């Protein structure tokens, strides 16, 4: 049996050909050629089997193996193979076979994080601000390689700030304040009153006592709308100190 795979998604390419081959061997053993046309996010697989359209629907994914980092690397999944049949209503799936198969893959080994101390972050912000640098900030960016334990329900970006200052709270905690208070007027009213851009009132406050981890990025060329000379991820502790809860991640891009 010849398998032609038109899919390129790295999440599926390791296992899909072997899975499809086995499903077709069990359901249509006399098949000569299978073209894997597409895969949807729910792992519904669209096929052309000897010139006829077919679909494999999958569900009930059960992890059965984990790698040395504890991440799933194999699943048992239930599936049904359908032949697509045209009818007066447009079409329907004619069930051919069903069963349970195992899929397996190798997880990409994550690069070691380049971590920073809080003092290093504060120094970097100080040097950038004193040098006239500005900032662009993204909250819970989709570019994070590992999204486990990260808030993914809210994403905000890009937000631009012209300065970063620090101040101490009543509890002697250090607060970071990204702001635009040093923005210049953009015009004047008829009475001579200066007009400022609306974003002069924008502020972002970060309680450094709530920072869990600071990561300096080494590859971030496409993370922001405008080029950044440096980028840092600030991981906050989850709410209520629940270590299994999701945390916010603030990505700070340094602009010259």
Quote the CA–CA distance of 178 and 136 in Å, as a whole number: 10
CA 170 to chain centre: 37
3-state secondary structure of 236: strand
Give the bridge partners for 187, in sequence order: 195
| CATH 1.10.600 for domain 114-255 | no
Which residue spans of the chain are classified as CATH 3.40.1570?
Answer: 114-255
Distance CA 191, CA 242 (A): 55
Residue 253: CB atoms within 10 A of its CB come to 24
- CB–CB of 114/215 below 8 Å? yes
Distance CA 83, CA 112 (A): 46
As given in the structure block, the two tokens for residue 11 are 């999440």
**β 33-39/2-5 pair status:** parallel
Please give the structure tokens belonging to residue 185.
């007027």
> Which residues of the chain register pLDDT less than 50?
none
In the numeric block, which tokens belong to residue 195? 């007009």
End-to-end CA distance of the chain: 58
pLDDT at site 208: 94
Among 255, 241, 161, 170, CA closest to 205: 161
Residues 6+ apart with CB under 8 A from 122: 166, 174, 208
Pairing of strands 156-161, 187-188: unpaired
Q: Label each residue of 43-94 as H, E or C.
A: CCEEEEECCEEEEEEEEEEEEEEECCCCCEEEEEEEEEEEEEECCCCCCEEE
Tokens for 9, please give them.
């998604």
């Amino acid at each position: 049996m010849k398998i032609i795979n038109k899919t390129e998604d790295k999440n599926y390419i390791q296992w899909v050909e072997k899975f499809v081959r086995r499903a077709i061997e069990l359901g249509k053993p006399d098949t000569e050629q299978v073209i894997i046309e597409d895969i949807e996010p729910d792992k519904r697989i669209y096929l052309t089997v000897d010139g006829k359209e077919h679909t494999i629907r999958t569900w009930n994914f059960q992890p059965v193996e984990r790698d040395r980092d504890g991440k799933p690397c194999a699943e048992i999944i239930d599936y049904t193979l359908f032949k697509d049949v045209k009818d007066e209503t447009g079409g329907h799936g004619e069930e051919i076979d069903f069963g349970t198969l195992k899929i397996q893959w190798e997880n990409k080994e994550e690069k070691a994080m380049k971590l920073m101390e809080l003092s290093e972050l504060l120094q970097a912000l100080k040097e950038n601000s004193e040098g006239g640098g500005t900032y662009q900030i993204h909250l819970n960016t989709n570019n994070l390689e590992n999204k486990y334990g990260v808030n993914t329900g809210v994403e905000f970006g890009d937000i631009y700030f012209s300065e970063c200052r620090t101040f101490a709270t009543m509890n002697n905690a250090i607060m970071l304040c990204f702001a635009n208070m040093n923005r210049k007027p953009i015009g004047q009213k008829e009475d001579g009153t200066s007009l400022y851009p609306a974003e002069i009132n924008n502020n972002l406050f970060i309680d450094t006592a709530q920072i869990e981890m600071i990561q300096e990025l080494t590859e971030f060329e496409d993370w922001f709308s405008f080029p950044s000379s440096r980028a840092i991820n600030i991981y906050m502790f989850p709410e209520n100190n629940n270590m299994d809860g999701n945390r916010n991640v603030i990505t700070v891009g340094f602009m010259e």
